[in-house]
Amino acid sequence: MATIYNFNPGPAVLPKSVLDRAQKEFQNYPGLGYSIMEASHRGKQVVQIFAETEKKLLSLMGLGDQYRALFLQGGATMQFIQIPMNFLGAGKKADYIDTGMWTSKAIKEGKRYGGVNVLFSGKDANYTALPDLKKLAYSPDAAYTWMCSNNTIFGTQYRELPDVKNPLISDMSSDILSKRLDFGRFGIIFAGAQKNLGPSGVTLVVIRKDLLDRCNPELPELLSYKGQAENDSMVNTPPVFGVYLMGLMLDWIAGEAGGLAAVEKRNEQKAGLLYGAIDGSQGFYKCPVVAKDRSLMNIVFTLPDEDKTALFVKEAEAAGFVNLKGHRSVGGIRASIYNAMPVEGCEKLAAFMAAFAKR
């Protein structure tokens, strides 16, 4: 069978070794005698998986016991609603930095629960550049500052963080654990698991413990971060299999992948191969993103016309490079190269791109 390189933006490629281990343990989880899919979330094996996954995650992030990791449902999009529900209202407002579709949606939802101050919007420039964070007029009394660290659709990624006194909140769905970062500068980090952390169905929320006491006390436990933390993410039946797979992914990052420093180096190498193919094509391929803001996770580019774009997608798929079509809102091509995409996949795609452009 020919090798397939899956550049899907999410759900995304998973490491073969992780899939192999999950397959091996699928029908008989060690010490259980049956599948983890069939296990009670109140049983000791599942409780242990949740505790160990939280510990592994915080360790990789370099965070201590001042943080909690919650394993929730509803997707990262649910956090667009849940965060303002917990921290806005009663005359409070928050700062938002609009750098793409997901921040735009978050702003819309935030306005339902309190004041929203949009510090910057890249909409008029089609989100092809990020702001100079040092020049933004942050609100000193904001309940939080909201950002999205990597924008999957438009292919931008921050290289620095805002210097704010209020809690910094980041949607890291598409670049969490893809590089080294001072995670201790955040009040809340959230991410859908389906890009770098495992399968769809789990939403990770990492929250600084002191913020739990600021949560709206009128919320039901299911929607309250404090309620979820007090119940160890088990207010209702959690996505057990997804958290189990996240644990395997964290083992892979810390072990086989070599840790965050090695992961970061590989991601830079992979992105460099594809941006090199774009920039070296004498204008046949064009990346619309300002060079300093280019994403290491989602490489977006265009071809001279729609016919060539369609032909590129068709021939790429025949050659084993699948799911390269750009998001429906922007078109073009998008190669998503999350942690589990091997360097070989980017080397071969870059070679295909060069041959296609020459032909």
For the chain, give the secondary structure using H, E and C. Answer: CCCCEECCCCCCCCCHHHHHHHHHHCCCCCCCCCCHHHCCCCCHHHHHHHHHHHHHHHHHCCCCCCEEEEEECCHHHHHHHHHHHHHCCCCCEEEEEECCHHHHHHHHHHCCCCEEEEEEECHHHCCCCCCCHHHCCCCCCCCCEEEECEECCCCEECCCCCCCCCCEEEECCCCCCCCCCCHHHCCEEEEECCCCCCCCCCEEEEEEHHHHHHCCCCCCHHHCHHHHHHCCCCCCCCCHHHHHHHHHHHHHHHCCCCCHHHHHHHHHHHHHHHHHHHHCCCCCCECCCCHHHECCCEEEEECCCHHHHHHHHHHHHHCCEECCECCCCCCCEEEECCCCCCHHHHHHHHHHHHHHHHC
Catalytic residues: 102, 171, 195
Using pLDDT thresholds of 50, 70 and 90, give the confidence band for residue 48: very high
**Which tokens sit at 341?**
């995409």
The whole-model pTM stands at 0.96
Residue 7 lies in a domain: no
Q: If you compute the radius of gyration of the chain from its CA atoms, what whole number of angstroms results? A: 21
Instruction: Tally Cβ neighbours within 10 Å of residue 265.
Output: 13
- In which band, very low, low, confident or very high, does the pLDDT at 45 lie, cut at 50, 70 and 90? very high
pLDDT mean across residues, the chain: 96
The token duo for 89 is 């209202």
Say which residue the tokens 């702003």 belong to: 107
On whether residue 47 sits in a domain, the answer given is yes
What is the structure's pLDDT at 5?
Answer: 98
CA atoms lying within 13 Å on the CB side of residue 85: 15
Which candidate, 112, 167, 171, 101, places its Cα nearest to that of 138?
A: 167
What is the domain range of residue 343? 260-358
Q: Phi-psi category of 64—alpha, beta or left, where left has phi over 0 and alpha has psi -120 to 50?
A: beta
Q: Are residue 123 and residue 158 in the same domain, yes or no?
A: yes
Token duo for residue 99: 């750098």
Same domain membership, residue 331 and residue 291: yes
Domain of 145: which CATH number?
3.40.640.10
Same domain for 125 and 140? yes
Strand 203-208 and strand 298-301: the pairing is unpaired
Is residue 176 within 8 Å of 197, Cβ to Cβ?
A: yes
Question: Does residue 184 fall inside a structural domain?
Answer: yes
Shared domain check, 269 and 242: no
Considering the domain architecture, whether residues 93 and 239 belong to the same structural domain is answered as yes
Residue 6 lies inside a defined structural domain of this protein: no
Same domain, 351 and 205: no
- Does residue 1 fall inside a structural domain? no
Please give the pLDDT value at position 1: 57
Tell me what the mean pLDDT of segment 175-189 comes to: 98
pLDDT beyond 70 at 263: yes
> Residue 156: inside a domain, yes or no?
yes
Q: Is residue 196 part of a domain?
A: yes
Domain edge (last residue) among 207, 238, 254:
254
For residue 240, name the pLDDT band (cuts at 50, 70, 90).
very high
> Does 285 lie in the same domain as 248?
no
What is the per-residue pLDDT for 289?
97
Do both 39 and 61 map to the same domain?
yes
> 107 with 166, same domain?
yes
Give the Cα-Cα-Cα angle 103, 235, 143 (nearest 5 degrees): 35
Choosing from 198, 231, 254, the residue where a domain stops is 254
Tell whether 205 and 271 lie within a shared domain: no
Share of the chain above pLDDT 70, in %: 100
Q: Which of 220, 254, 288 is the last residue of a domain?
A: 254
Q: Please tell me whether residues 68 and 162 are part of one structural domain.
A: yes
Whether residue 316 has pLDDT greater than 80: yes
Asked if residue 264 and residue 250 are part of one domain, the reply reads no
How many domains would you assign to the chain? 2
Domain membership of residue 198 (yes or no) is yes
pLDDT attached to residue 2: 77
76-129 residue pLDDT tens: 999 999 999 999 988 899 999 999 999 999 999 999 998 899 999 999 999 999
pLDDT digits (tens, 9 = 90+) for 321-338: 999 999 998 999 999 999
CATH of the domain at 289: 3.90.1150.10
Task: Provide the CA 125 distance to its chain's centre, in angstroms.
Answer: 23
